[in-house]
Amino acid sequence: MKVNKDKCLGCGACASMCPVNAITMKGGKAEINKKKCIKCGTCMQICPVSAITDEA
Ligand code: SF4
Ligand code: SF4
């Protein structure tokens, strides 16, 4: 999963929905810890601006 930081609004929705707490907010942008991520896709679905994609 990858965050497009130009699109990310910093709303925090993805971070609060991630089942394994792989997303942290840094400098007002979401950041995904790839070691923790289980690729469930929840963050992709929840993001209001489609800033998260499933590319590596
Ligand atoms: S794909 Fe799932 S596990 Fe990975 S960062 Fe998104 S919500 Fe968290
Ligand atoms: S849900 Fe989307 S806009 Fe909101 S913090 Fe996550 S990546 Fe950024």
**Residue 56 CA to ligand 1 centre (angstroms):** 13
Report the distance separating Cα 30 and Cα 48, nearest Å: 13
17, 6 in Cβ contact below 8 A?
Answer: no
Please count the other Cβ atoms lying within 10 Å of the Cβ belonging to residue 9. Answer: 13
Q: Does domain 2-53 have CATH number 3.30.70.20?
A: yes
Looking at the predicted structure, is the pLDDT value of residue 56 above 80? no
Q: Is the pTM of this model over 0.85?
A: yes
The 10s digit of each residue's pLDDT in 3-48 is 999 999 999 999 999 999 999 999 999 999 999 999 999 999 999 9
Pocket test for ligand 2, best of 3, 7, 8 (most atoms within 8 A of CB): 8
Sorted by where each begins, the domain ranges of the chain are: 2-53
The H or E element spanning position 30 is strand 29-32
- pLDDT computed for residue 38 by the predictor: 98
Q: Are 1 and 39 in contact (CB under 8 A)?
A: yes
Q: Note the ligand closest to the C-alpha atom of 47.
A: 2
